[in-house]
Amino acid sequence: MKRRVESGRTLLVDGPASVEVVSGKAEAFGFMLSSAEKIVVREGKRLPFAVEKTATFNILLGENASIEEVEENTIPPSWRKAWEELLSYRTKPVTAMILGAVDSGKTSFCTYLINELLHAKQKVAVLDGDMGQSDIGPPCTIAYAFAKKPVTDLFDLKAENAYFVGVTSPSKTVDKVIEGLASLGKEVLSDRPDFVVVNTDGWVEGEEAVSYKVKLVEHLNPNIVFCIQQREELAPILNALENFRKMIVDSPSAIRHRSREKRKSLRELGYVKYLRNAKVRSLPLNWLQIEENELIGMGAKRGSAENTRKIYELLGMKPLRFTELRDRVCVVIGKNRWIDTENIRKVEKFTKKNVVIIRKGEEQGLLVSLHDAERHFLGIGVLREIDYMRNAMKVYTPVSEEVSVVAIGRVKIDKDLREITPFADEDEQNFTTFKS
């Protein structure tokens, strides 16, 4: 369909849609539209096309997509002040960190900053710390990219490297996220960018979130922290960040809030993108180092043979696998097997450790990341099966390189690449793992 929009007005397009400007002049988050270039608006995303010179658009709307015209530019004036402020820094590199709640406009603000910095001929890197709504790497990872030309969607940038967190919310893995961001942050700087724009996850409210965000800022030590506020939700973080330069920017009123379902389906677009051309690979367990063993009952430390025999005796059965870890004992049994709770208690008493019973089949669908011998990230995969008899792991993945390390995540993906872990979402702090 064709649509004419007068100069000064903004066309809001809710995806899935594709938009093309036929005549006139329009921009989206600082990206100048040119004729004969189709802009894709993904499902769950909204793009504001601010019209500078009366424009005619050619629009294709997908299922449930919609458009709406508003009177003004929906980019808050404080966003412009923010990049002007950034450009005034004389010493490079300049690191800018963005804080804000879920759906406050963090990604859009980053996109806008990046585009404006590129117009000013700067070398710009984006470090994406939002594992729940990743723009750069696969879902459940943090990642970075260099922006070579302006974009309307950071999803179109190519990730240089990623760090697998394995969950969609940082609340249970605060240290891991900090470590990941800090190490990728160092790597980014070694490539000598003029600006590093660091996006973060939307967990900002409550004591734990505040102390986590403060730690994150301290580790990355940015030159400036941009706080996107809707109300006063960042006040506790702002107060705690005494020694950092901060600037409050507005959350646009034209924001489109996404339901938990929408955020999940946006992540699923990420699984599709990063699992394209995947095949099932069989990886021999003997050659692999596995991280997060307790989820699947793997691990090197298996106790002495005599010890093991005694434990089997106490269990009253021979499990598929038995692993004694530092703080717990993992027992893997067949789908339909059953162990007397009394026997489990006996083993706990004998080993002085908690016994975790894992049923074969529970591992199916777990999101994993694959790494080479130097632990460089190679890509993600979905665990299809652990064959305890053959001592191999079947993983659905596009990675074809040699794999040395596999990290097991807590999110589950089904064969249609739908996320099936219940309640694993950014604003869900007490998410349930597949075991409970």
Ligand X SMILES: Nc1ncnc2c1ncn2[C@@H]1O[C@H](COP(=O)(O)OP(=O)(O)O)[C@@H](O)[C@H]1O
| Tokens 């820094």 belong to residue | 89
Q: How many residues bind ligand X (CB under 6 A)?
A: 21
Shorter beta-carbon distance to ligand X: residue 224 or 356: 224
Residue 13 bridge partners (DSSP) = 47, 67
By CB under 5 A, tell whether 133 contacts Mg ion.
yes
By CB under 6 A, tell whether 104 contacts ligand X.
yes
The pair of structure tokens assigned to 8 is 């000064």
Which one of 174, 248, 255, 269 is in contact with ligand X (CB under 6 A)?
255
Q: On the CB side of 267, how many CA atoms lie within 13 Å of its CA?
A: 30
- Angstrom distance (rounded) from CA 323 to CA 329: 6
Q: With beta carbons less than 8 A apart as the criterion, state whether 3 and 59 touch.
A: yes
In the complex, the smallest distance separating the C-beta of residue 411 from Mg ion, rounded to whole angstroms, is: 18
By CB under 5 A, tell whether 168 contacts Mg ion.
no
According to DSSP, residue 24 is labeled: E
In the complex, the smallest distance separating the C-beta of residue 112 from Mg ion, rounded to whole angstroms, is: 13
By CB under 6 A, tell whether 252 contacts ligand X.
yes
Shorter beta-carbon distance to ligand X: residue 45 or 410: 45
- Angstrom distance (rounded) from CA 124 to CA 113: 10
Which one of 48, 132, 139, 365 is in contact with ligand X (CB under 6 A)?
48
In the complex, the smallest distance separating the C-beta of residue 63 from ligand X, rounded to whole angstroms, is: 17
| Tokens 């005494």 belong to residue | 242
DSSP string spanning 190-204?
TT--SEEEEEE-S--
Interaction pattern, residues 128-147, with ligand X; x per rule: CB under 6 A: -----x--------------
By CB under 6 A, tell whether 103 contacts ligand X.
yes
Residue 161 bridge partners (DSSP) = 144
By CB under 6 A, tell whether 240 contacts ligand X.
no
- Give the residue among 62, 54, 68, 65 at the shortest CA–CA distance from 22: 54
By CB under 6 A, tell whether 325 contacts ligand X.
no
- Angstrom distance (rounded) from CA 12 to CA 73: 10
Which one of 74, 107, 111, 122 is in contact with Mg ion (CB under 5 A)?
107
Shorter beta-carbon distance to ligand X: residue 27 or 103: 103
Interface residues with Mg ion (CB under 5 A) are 106-107, 133
Interface residues with ligand X (CB under 6 A) are 12, 45-48, 74-75, 100, 102-108, 133, 202, 252, 254-256
